[in-house]
Structure 1
Amino acid sequence: MEKNRRESLGQFHSSIYNTANTEFFMREFKKHSKAGDRHGMVEMILQLDRVSNTDVTGFFTPKNNEEAERIFNDVNSTAEGAGKISNLCKIDLLTKALFAAETDSLFAIQIIIARAKYEFSVRSYQKCYRDCNYAMQMLVSLESSRVLNELETEKMKTMCNLLKSQCLKQMKKNSKQSPEANEKKLPKVDGKANRQLKSCSDTVALIHEDVRGRHLIATKNIKAGSVLIVDEPFSFSTDEAALSTNCLHCHSSLQGSQNITVPCGNCQTVSFCSEECRTNAWSSYHKYECMIFDNFLERSRTCDQKSHVLLAYRTTIAKAITKNSNSLDAEFLCYQDAKCEDARKSLEIDIKSDFYDPLDYRTIFSLETHCEKADAKVNLSRSIKSVYLAKCLAFVLMEVDERNRETIGQREIVLLAVAMMRHMQAVDCNAYEIVENFRDRNTRTWEPRNVGGAIYSSVSLVNHSCYPNVVRHSYPGGKVVVRSLRFIEKGAELLDCYGPHFIIDSQQLRQQYLAEKYHFICKCEPCKFDWKFPFPDEITFRCTSCGNSLDSLHSKCTKCSQKFDIRKLRSQLEKSTKKRILAVGKMYDGYYIDALPLLLEHSGFLDKTLMAPSLEAIKTQQSIIQCFNSLSNIYNNEVITTIE
């Protein structure tokens, strides 16, 4: 029998899935699947010969100085004339050379300074300034660790200081900002901080019902635009397409006019916006994934997104590893062991008394996984991946510290795989997108672009509606801000949208999607009353006394019979609608901050005056979302500011 087979995640999954997907194997596997027994499913995979005979090894793109020198020399030798390439192209090539070069070397510094010169030539003064600081920082680091050629070092420092001085002069000339150049600050929750929910305002509370499970309700009347939750991720991942365009750690754009591109010190695959982000990422998670990172880039036909598999892996290492000793956390392993009842009970959260911290692993362990409801073949696929990822983590830990070879055995592999599988299932129904917004110059609207995924355990407490009353926005550093999209009455539930919206999708498609992915039948208003777009031309006004609809023909409430002046209401609506039209004009010119108060005021009037669904309310809410887009995580290539 063949020993020590070395396969990537994709190869391993395909071969084991084909081996295990037989009537005989699945008959027993389905029993564990229906019982939600991850331990039993993982054990069945590990008992297969092809699994025990498979070794995990490094799978990444290492540094290559020869490749770096070839690219660097090609840029330098580019002749004038037919072979001439643009300076922007040279910047891209030098970035590739920097990624291939061994980090913390004089050669890497030469590449950075060369890139800075070309950045200056194309008027990317902020990038040039930051690259000079980056080169100086590396020079200082090398000087403290080894003897350098003093003359060459001084030449580099002189060049960096000269470029920085010239950049500052140019940036002072160009300090005038564009209309959308607003400072992007992470907002704070409105009202007081919640005593129980760390990420939430005191305007919301956590309750539990048998049918709806844990969910958030309003403790008082909430106006549109109120900041209700500012959550930070327990773990996050980056989509493959964003690995070269966004910082792996904070997800800031690397394509704009400000951030430089900094490579990983070990591989050529991931990018950072600063040395600080690179250092923080390495110490907290990238150290434990870098050597096997290309496993997360393989094409896959299975149900899980690649970034979600990486997210499950990072969720595991966030708690499974004691970082100061690079060893497995014994307590974490006990959490995954069904025999350790006391350890598992310690993870239970009493929603009436316990403090809910999104960085507390208990909040992650309590997330819904739908393990027993999932199709057995889906659980088979995830258990195979989980076993491979457990082997990957064991391999990396042994490479990082030889002592782990004596402490990581079969039990540790099993429990790590159980954890990986739990997190993979939790990610599937609890992960949220990390979004970067960019402004389309033609339509002058902000368009979202997914750059990663994250687990937000506080936001996960919000249930779904096909007509949500809250909206989420990503901010740098993986933070997410949840705001009220319209008026929320005291006692009403906070409702997010998990994807399907009644404006876009039919009731049948929405119900099917939610049942298959989240295992529930949606009973929100649009589903219950089968709202359909486009709406009827006739506007239905709301009774300000009892909230029911008005009979326009008889000018009175259909429930409490209170009389109203319908003509006056129509006049007020027309006057208020002009505020939205004025706000849209301001938005078109880029003045979102000025437009937002007008929209929120108009939204408040609509909530009191019109019955849902209302086309005017939908238009207003979409405009409010656009304003919030401009305040969040954005890619903006037009902003030029002075660096102190």
Structure 2
Amino acid sequence: MPIALQPSSTWTCLKDISRAQMHGYPERLQPKMMLRKAECLVTLGRLQEASQIISDLESNFTAKQTPAAPQFQTLQSTLCRLKMKAQEKENLTETFPAALTHAFEDMNLREENEQISSASPSVSLCTDPLKGRCLIATKDILPGELLVKEDAFVSVLNPGEMPPLHYGLESKRNTRVANGDLYCHRCLKHTLAMVPCDGCSYAKYCSQECMQQAWDLYHSIECSLGGLLLTLGVFCHISLRSTLLARFEDVGKVIRKLCGEISNKDLSLPESKNLVQTLSYDLGEESEKNGKTMEPPIPGCDINGKYINNYNAVLHLLPHTKNHSPEHKFLCALSVSALCKQLEAANLQTLPSQESSQPKAAVVPAMCQELHIWGVAMLRHMLQLQCNAQAITTIQQTGSEENIVTDSRQVRLATGLFPVVSLLNHSCSPNTSVSFLSTVATIRASQQIGKGQEILHCYGPHENRMGVAERQQKLRSQYFFDCNCLACQKEKPRAAAGPPWEAFCCNSCGELMQGGDVLSCGHASCTESASRDHLVSRLQDLQQQVGTARKLLRNGKLERAIQLLLGCQHDAERFLSAEHSVVGEIEDGLARAYATLGDWQKSATHLQKSLRVVEVRHGPSSVEMGHELFKLAQVFFNGFAIPEALNTIQKAEKVLLVHYGPWNDEIQELQKMKSCLLDLPPIPVGPPV
């Protein structure tokens, strides 16, 4: 039975009621559900419909004549209250405008790029002999400017990690909620009331419409493969879904050419020029004029030279076949083979009858004789994904609603393919920031970009999160290139010193320690030295204590957590730099503990110290800095520190707007806090009476 009656979720409640009626909700419980429906309608201001339901319920109660039953008395009392509420609203205007359903719409691109779909006119697609395809600024770009807003060509929800089930008399049923229970499997929208697939126990959707769209596009074939797809993994699932979506574009003959007309050498090197020409020519046949075909200037573009988010662009993403290990290629081929076998088995089963609601496109296309074509396409996609898959992330809150303080963390919600976003090359110090809303990726300039400069994106290894050696190793192993960005060039000469968020300090004078296995104080007049191994051992012990304190915080043992963290703070001051990341963790933990106790002043003091660590590590304009400023603004707001709160809100807005735009949840909350503070009456200042 749906219980949410907030305006933003009332529509969900009504849809849930409709589905319950459609699936045969028990007759004896109908009055309770109809009362809830009437309450929803009153909340929405649809008073005429609500009055009709109330009238029908009154007639129903009179006919049954069972006034002694406790349930009847409760329902009748609720009915009377609801009737009064409806009458009170009769003379009021509608309080829930239809426009509210569009409240979370993101900003659109002001103009369409004539060369690249989903991109701003501020960028241009070019090629470089060393880098390949890249995006270049066509004009000076300001921080926060929207550059790309692209819906994923394909996306698959990550199933989430679940603990294994242990069978036995003492075992308990696992009731932990995973992402698959919270987000729509088609549009990735966070959903209160899921609509499950009629054919499997895994796929769930935000609405009947999303479920039908998923069924028509791909789920009619995926439905019976659910267990196998979960076993083979997300990459295999994306490969199948990409091929299924290709049925709705004119690419069948292209995939056949991929199988039949290229040589064995081309098959092993799918990024070869022959394949690029084959795919480009076939997809551009509709634009041929007078029997003449012009080769697209850039791979992935159509015959008119436009790069579009479609299957042609996906096929032109490089699979890097030469770089993958033989073991990886064998595993990919084995996975695709298993999937094709299962598709063949599904084909041999009874096909849908004419009365079936499944569309004709839902049947495995051309059946078994075309499975080898699908297999080639799926194998190519699997090889592409290691370098081209994009993690779709979201911010999740942890902790119950009763808690004053909750954690927020970025989680990987799904994996998708974004052909336009994939054009951006990597930098360990990028000039863009990426965010997601459902299946849409938004790329904004994070700093000023001059005309002619390349638009750069970070593939994961960032200069503010790891050292140059670790970044180089990760990029080489996953993306098969040696990074030579400006950040790597600058950092190599000073790599031995290490970043400040990992530095040790002198116990005597507080200066930073330098050196290799034996560290010496950097101050000229100080002779203090220490073994690196000894300091690393002390750091590990300290990290273990901080971890224990965080567990105490989660379990509500605040006083013990504070005492332990204060001890950790004292120890850290003796051998860690003030900007060390562990110092930031300690200060953040103390701020959280005091906020939970309602001591907002102490919480703000410790959070400001944590903020300094974040600023040194990530920079004053980083998205991490924006999130920390948001936390500090909340603490000042709750502590009624009005000038400090308004100042911090302004700083947080300035940073977060650059990375997310105005429709971000945190920016919306900051604006509400600012509005609330500005509406407060002025506090009188004068001598005490």
Change over 3 Å in CA distance of 1:125–1:205 after alignment to 2: closer
Match of 1:355 among 285, 306, 318: 306
Change over 3 Å in CA distance of 1:628–1:474 after alignment to 2: farther
- The residue number in structure 2 matching 1:533 is 499
- The residue number in structure 2 matching 1:545 is none
Change over 3 Å in CA distance of 1:283–1:261 after alignment to 2: same
Deviations 1:444-487 (A, max 9, x none): 775211111110000000011111111111112x1111111111
- The residue number in structure 2 matching 1:231 is 150
- Alpha-carbon distance between aligned partners in 1 of 2:441 and 2:40, rounded to the nearest angstrom: 34
Deviations 1:343-371 (A, max 9, x none): 5343575338512111x211001101101
Change over 3 Å in CA distance of 1:237–1:349 after alignment to 2: farther
Quick check: 1:164 aligned with 2:122? no
Where 1:451 maps in the other structure, the secondary structure is strand
Higher relative contact order (CA 8 A, sep 6+): 1
Deviates more, 1:336-345 or 1:208-217: 336-345
The Cα shift of 1:245 comes to 2.1
Quick check: 1:386–1:417 contact (8 Å CA) kept in 2? yes
- Alpha-carbon distance between aligned partners in 2 of 1:155 and 1:213, rounded to the nearest angstrom: 68
Alignment of 1:27-38 (within 5 A): none
5+ long unaligned stretches in structure 2: 46-84, 86-94, 161-178, 263-274, 284-294, 353-359, 493-497, 506-619, 673-689
The Cα shift of 1:134 comes to 3.6
Change over 3 Å in CA distance of 1:430–1:386 after alignment to 2: same
- The residue number in structure 1 matching 2:184 is 247
Quick check: 1:371 aligned with 2:321? yes
Alignment of 1:171-570 (within 5 A): 183-189=103-109, 191-241=110-160, 242-254=179-191, 259-298=192-231, 306-319=233-246, 321=247, 330-339=252-261, 344=279, 345-347=281-283, 349-351=296-298, 353-358=304-309, 360-397=310-347, 399=349, 401=351, 407-409=366-368, 412-439=370-397, 446-476=408-438, 478-530=439-491, 533-534=499-500
Where 1:337 maps in the other structure, the secondary structure is helix
Quick check: 2:147–2:443 contact (8 Å CA) kept in 1? yes
- Alpha-carbon distance between aligned partners in 1 of 2:317 and 2:251, rounded to the nearest angstrom: 21
Deviations 1:510-530 (A, max 9, x none): 111111111111011111111
Deviations 1:104-150 (A, max 9, x none): xxxxxxxxxxx23xx26xx678667634434435756x8xxxxx9xx
Change over 3 Å in CA distance of 1:471–1:283 after alignment to 2: same
Q: Could you state the TM-score of these two structures normalised by the residue count of structure 2?
A: 0.54
Q: Percent identity at matched positions?
A: 22
5+ long unaligned stretches in structure 1: 1-114, 143-147, 301-305, 538-576, 602-619, 639-644
Change over 3 Å in CA distance of 1:224–1:210 after alignment to 2: same
The Cα shift of 1:315 comes to 0.9
Where 2:414 maps in the other structure, the secondary structure is strand
- Alpha-carbon distance between aligned partners in 1 of 2:335 and 2:436, rounded to the nearest angstrom: 29
Amino acid at match of 1:262: V
- Alpha-carbon distance between aligned partners in 2 of 1:495 and 1:418, rounded to the nearest angstrom: 32
Quick check: 2:254–2:282 contact (8 Å CA) kept in 1? no
Change over 3 Å in CA distance of 1:125–1:443 after alignment to 2: closer
- Alpha-carbon distance between aligned partners in 1 of 2:668 and 2:325, rounded to the nearest angstrom: 38
Quick check: 1:437–1:630 contact (8 Å CA) kept in 2? no
Alignment of 1:618-637 (within 5 A): 625=659, 630-631=664-665
The Cα shift of 1:416 comes to 1.6
Quick check: 1:473–1:632 contact (8 Å CA) kept in 2? no
Amino acid at match of 1:312: S
- Alpha-carbon distance between aligned partners in 2 of 1:480 and 1:399, rounded to the nearest angstrom: 39
Quick check: 1:437–1:632 contact (8 Å CA) kept in 2? no
- Structure showing greater radius of gyration is 2
The Cα shift of 1:408 comes to 3.5
The Cα shift of 1:163 comes to 1.0
- Alpha-carbon distance between aligned partners in 2 of 1:361 and 1:465, rounded to the nearest angstrom: 27
Where 2:107 maps in the other structure, the secondary structure is coil
Change over 3 Å in CA distance of 1:584–1:487 after alignment to 2: farther
Where 2:321 maps in the other structure, the secondary structure is coil
Alignment of 1:69-84 (within 5 A): none
Where 2:500 maps in the other structure, the secondary structure is coil
Alignment of 1:99-118 (within 5 A): 115-116=1-2
Amino acid at match of 2:219: H
The Cα shift of 1:633 comes to 13
Amino acid at match of 2:313: T
- Report how many aligned residue pairs link the two structures: 428
The Cα shift of 1:393 comes to 3.3
Where 1:481 maps in the other structure, the secondary structure is strand
- The residue number in structure 1 matching 2:585 is none
- Alpha-carbon distance between aligned partners in 1 of 2:140 and 2:427, rounded to the nearest angstrom: 19
Quick check: 1:463–1:496 contact (8 Å CA) kept in 2? yes
Amino acid at match of 2:468: Q
Change over 3 Å in CA distance of 1:401–1:466 after alignment to 2: same
Amino acid at match of 2:305: D
Quick check: 1:475–1:633 contact (8 Å CA) kept in 2? no
- The residue number in structure 1 matching 2:556 is none
Quick check: 2:123–2:135 contact (8 Å CA) kept in 1? yes
**CA RMSD of the aligned region, Å?**
4.4
- Alpha-carbon distance between aligned partners in 2 of 1:634 and 1:252, rounded to the nearest angstrom: 18
- Alpha-carbon distance between aligned partners in 2 of 1:268 and 1:206, rounded to the nearest angstrom: 44
Where 1:371 maps in the other structure, the secondary structure is coil
Quick check: 2:314–2:419 contact (8 Å CA) kept in 1? yes
- The residue number in structure 2 matching 1:29 is none
Quick check: 1:472–1:481 contact (8 Å CA) kept in 2? yes
Change over 3 Å in CA distance of 1:584–1:266 after alignment to 2: closer
Where 1:267 maps in the other structure, the secondary structure is coil
- Alpha-carbon distance between aligned partners in 2 of 1:316 and 1:288, rounded to the nearest angstrom: 11
- Alpha-carbon distance between aligned partners in 1 of 2:666 and 2:227, rounded to the nearest angstrom: 30
Amino acid at match of 2:424: V
Amino acid at match of 1:363: A
- Alpha-carbon distance between aligned partners in 1 of 2:454 and 2:15, rounded to the nearest angstrom: 50
Amino acid at match of 1:220: K
Change over 3 Å in CA distance of 1:521–1:243 after alignment to 2: same
The Cα shift of 1:596 comes to 8.3
Quick check: 2:225–2:342 contact (8 Å CA) kept in 1? yes
Quick check: 1:231–1:480 contact (8 Å CA) kept in 2? yes
Amino acid at match of 1:164: K
- Alpha-carbon distance between aligned partners in 1 of 2:338 and 2:108, rounded to the nearest angstrom: 41
Amino acid at match of 1:386: V
Quick check: 1:136–1:157 contact (8 Å CA) kept in 2? no
- Alpha-carbon distance between aligned partners in 2 of 1:443 and 1:624, rounded to the nearest angstrom: 26
Quick check: 2:137–2:453 contact (8 Å CA) kept in 1? yes
The Cα shift of 1:329 comes to 7.0
Where 1:221 maps in the other structure, the secondary structure is coil
